[in-house]
Structure 1
Amino acid sequence: MKKFLVLSVLAIMLFSSFFVFAANKTSNFVVGINYFGNQGVLITLANNSKYVIEYFDGSVIMVDDNFTVDKIVTDIENLIATGVDGLVVWTPTPTLYPIISQMCLKAKVPFVLSDKVPEQQALRDQLRQNPYFVGGVGPANEEYGIEVANYALSQGWKTCIVNTTAPGDPTDEPRLIAFRKAYEAGGGKILDIARSSSGDQTGQAATENSLIAHPNPDFIYGVGSALGIGAVRALEKFNYNTKVVTSGLEEEILNYLAEGKIAMANGDYWVSGTYAAIMLQNYLEGFPLKDENGQAPIYDQVGFFNVESQQVDLFKKCFIYQPIYSKSEILQMSGKNNKDFDFKAFLKVIENYTLEDRVAQKLKEGIVTEEEVISAGININK
């Protein structure tokens, strides 16, 4: 009898310990992330999602689409087959949204769109009919184009070539349209729009051909960072005074900026990858973020900032050599960890995303010094 009682007590203790362990155990979600190819901007975007998931003790499977649109569908299909708990999806082709949505619906796998989201309301409505559609986050693309146009006009630049991608890209096309409207309204003239093929991600060849047909324009607008890099490389074959401006802040762009090969660059360092992963993590934890209409949010107004040549070293320290947000900051962007974190709180995080805000935080963390901040000319007190 005594032996029976001892065994019973041990069994209860073991049973109770199991439940304590189960209650305290963090859910280790496995998330699949596709990236279009081995290019700085694309890898940065994917890595910005990766560090969020890993901060929550999740794991990530990343797949390279090898710059092939058709392979995006295959890769996502394969990720679903591995049994991932959710997907962070990037696609430059709007026609793929319904296909990907149907795949995820059939497999009951939640997915979020990172960096590129559909402009068309019909597509947005269609996606929102899928209960496994988490939402999407993208940059304020039109504002990028307007900013570049205003900068060029302020410099007195009257002629340009635009280096961009094929028509319909959800990021590049809105930038181009907004740039063209603002630049031409201010008296500028676009001599040519050089469109790159799927095999030339930088548009260098197309830009070289355009420069032969339209010698010595005042500047080239590389609509994305890879296209800005292609413009710089294309100009190396010509003895022109042409300047380059671009939207995107990957390390090669920053180096060109410091060297004077790029006159102006702006961007948000692909923070949409970070925000998209936060949305997915909250969904997986059972705290989905819903907009004011109770729907999956599609937010395409993530702000950006200009980086000047004297700010390059500081920018690298704050953004390139470590994640944009610290682990403690990310963990508070969770309805599970922070009962006050809802869609309004999420929007507040995005709206507060500025160069000054991030530099101030890195100063607080001891990542940068006050002397470095002053030397870069950044006013963190405004």
Structure 2
Amino acid sequence: MKLMKKALTVLLVGAMCTGLFGCGSSQNSTDSTKKEGENTSATSTNVKTGMTIAQNSFVAGDYAFSTMAKASKVIVEGTKNKFKELTDNANINNVQSDVENMINSGVDGALWWGVLDSYFQVGPQNFNNAGKYFAFFDCAPSTAKIQDPINKMQYYAGSCIGNDEEFGKQMAEQALKDGCKEAIVFANEIGSSVAKRADKFKEVFEAGGGKVDEISHVGTAANAHIEAIQNMLATYKKADCIYGVSIAYATGAYSVTSQMPNRKVNIYATDITPDALKYLKNNNIQGLNGGAWVNAYVASALLINAIDGNTIKDSSGSPANLVVNPVAITPKQAELYEKFWINEMPYAYDDLKNLLYRENSKVTYDDFKKFVDEYSFSTVMENKLKQGKVTQKELDDAGVNLK
């Protein structure tokens, strides 16, 4: 889930956006013949508590960042450690200075939102030189040239980010399912990480028999997107749906189409926020996806495992670098999402402890891969059904089909 898109549209081009010195056990290099999912041998069986794990948030109080912090706290505090949040005050320069602040304050591990490729070429080396375990959430380097040296660092625990292309794919599939034939897509600058959503929407929508009239690359500053939406709808008179790579495009589209009573235009967008859900509940927007912020649960678990002496590694011997898909919801599912993703968290510590070495000494890369691959609206609902938190009737009414 790439975040704060209005403020960081240009900055996101390039990156994929997702106390005690050396207190953790050091990691030994892993032989390339090691079986996939096999953990690095622990140098100590004693797990640590009372540690401080730090995480940076770009903006204080922002829904997405505060939710990712809450997700990380589930793991950090569940393992009886302390969570510390650093706020960047919407200043991109503070993202890099966070690294030194974390190191100098004596944290035992860091969850870092690095955001820019240039930062990923500096920050990880600083963490590693200081003997601080670190993991990436939500954003990761965009190229193997930058990522590969990080994979070899002793204190690198791994990463988990959202899948930008899947955002566009899911909404294209939903639009086709709803019977849409002709689409207009709105995105920000060409080449930005979130613009990949628009390209994937076009690919999937047209492969399914639809037509994308145009991808309009326009920002949302000074309501520039509103004028663009008006112009595109006037130009493409048969367009019956709009996809926006962020919620601002969707709410902008509704402000325009709500003044066109004789024309039906479905609206789809990426970003599920409390405000966005209001539009979805009222069927002003027909489809949303998001919720990829669960990447913070995964990154936190990877970090704690590394500190405990068990870095989770893939078949090549590199720390796990994982990608999680968003969840897609329709108006009928809005209330359930609000209940289990906003009013409470989709996962509690007991739901995730199987991913932690201190709770499950047999945890492997495959367990993590299974978790991110299976994450969806229906799998979370299936778990809530087993826990007695939702009824089968509620799921049936929301059109949730459990596999």
Quote how far apart the aligned CAs of 1:178 are.
2.0
Distance 2:47 2:140 in 1: 34
Quote how far apart the aligned CAs of 1:129 are.
2.8
Q: Name which one, 1 or 2, has greater alpha-carbon Rg.
A: 1
Aligned pair 1:86/2:109, yes or no? Answer: yes
Distance 2:146 2:327 in 1: 29
Distance 1:68 1:218 in 2: 39
Indicate how the Cα distance of structure 1 residues 368 and 145 shifts in structure 2: closer, same or farther if over 3 A, else same: same
Q: Report the secondary structure of 2:278's partner residue.
A: helix
2:251 to 228, 232, 242: 232
Output the aligned Cα RMSD. 2.6
Q: Report the secondary structure of 2:301's partner residue.
A: helix
Indicate how the Cα distance of structure 1 residues 330 and 156 shifts in structure 2: closer, same or farther if over 3 A, else same: closer
2:223 aligned partner: 205
1:6 aligned partner: none
Distance 2:139 2:192 in 1: 8
Indicate how the Cα distance of structure 1 residues 308 and 212 shifts in structure 2: closer, same or farther if over 3 A, else same: closer
More helix as a share of residues: 1
Quote how far apart the aligned CAs of 1:31 are.
1.1
Matches within 5 A, 1:169-188: 169-170=192-193, 172-183=194-205, 186=209, 188=211
**Structure 2: segments with no counterpart, 5+ residues:** 1-44
1:161 aligned partner: 185
User: Given the two structures, how large is their TM-score scaled by the length of structure 2?
Assistant: 0.78
User: Where do 4+ consecutive residues of structure 1 move more than 6 Å?
Assistant: none
Aligned pair 1:220/2:242, yes or no? Answer: yes
1:256 aligned partner: 279
Matches within 5 A, 1:1-382: 26-37=48-59, 38-154=61-177, 155-164=179-188, 166-170=189-193, 172-183=194-205, 186=209, 188-196=211-219, 205-216=223-234, 218-223=240-245, 227-233=246-252, 235-236=254-255, 239-240=259-260, 241=263, 242-300=265-323, 302-380=324-402, 382=403
Q: Report the secondary structure of 1:176's partner residue.
A: helix
**Structure 1: segments with no counterpart, 5+ residues:** 1-22
Q: Report the secondary structure of 1:134's partner residue.
A: strand
Quote how far apart the aligned CAs of 1:209 are.
3.3
Distance 2:384 2:300 in 1: 22
Q: How far does the alpha carbon of each residue in 1:237-287 deviate from its partner, in whole angstroms, 9 at most, with x for none?
A: 562454321123232222211111211112344211111111111111111
1:9 aligned partner: none
Distance 2:47 2:365 in 1: 26
Distance 2:64 2:190 in 1: 20
1:17 aligned partner: none
User: Given the two structures, how large is their TM-score scaled by the length of structure 1?
Assistant: 0.82
Q: Report the secondary structure of 1:271's partner residue.
A: helix
Q: Is the 8 A contact 2:54 2:84 kept in 1?
A: yes
Identical aligned pairs, as a percentage?
A: 24
Q: How far does the alpha carbon of each residue in 1:208-240 deviate from its partner, in whole angstroms, 9 at most, with x for none?
A: 2322443455443221xxx21443146425624
Q: How far does the alpha carbon of each residue in 1:69-125 deviate from its partner, in whole angstroms, 9 at most, with x for none?
A: 222112332222211111112233222211221221232222111122233221221
Indicate how the Cα distance of structure 1 residues 60 and 167 shifts in structure 2: closer, same or farther if over 3 A, else same: farther
Q: Is the 8 A contact 1:318 1:367 kept in 2?
A: no
* Relative contact order, higher structure (CA 8 A, sep 6+): 2
Q: Report the secondary structure of 2:355's partner residue.
A: coil
Quote how far apart the aligned CAs of 1:152 are.
3.4
How many residues are treated as equivalent by the alignment? 348
Q: Is the 8 A contact 1:192 1:210 kept in 2?
A: no
1:18 aligned partner: none
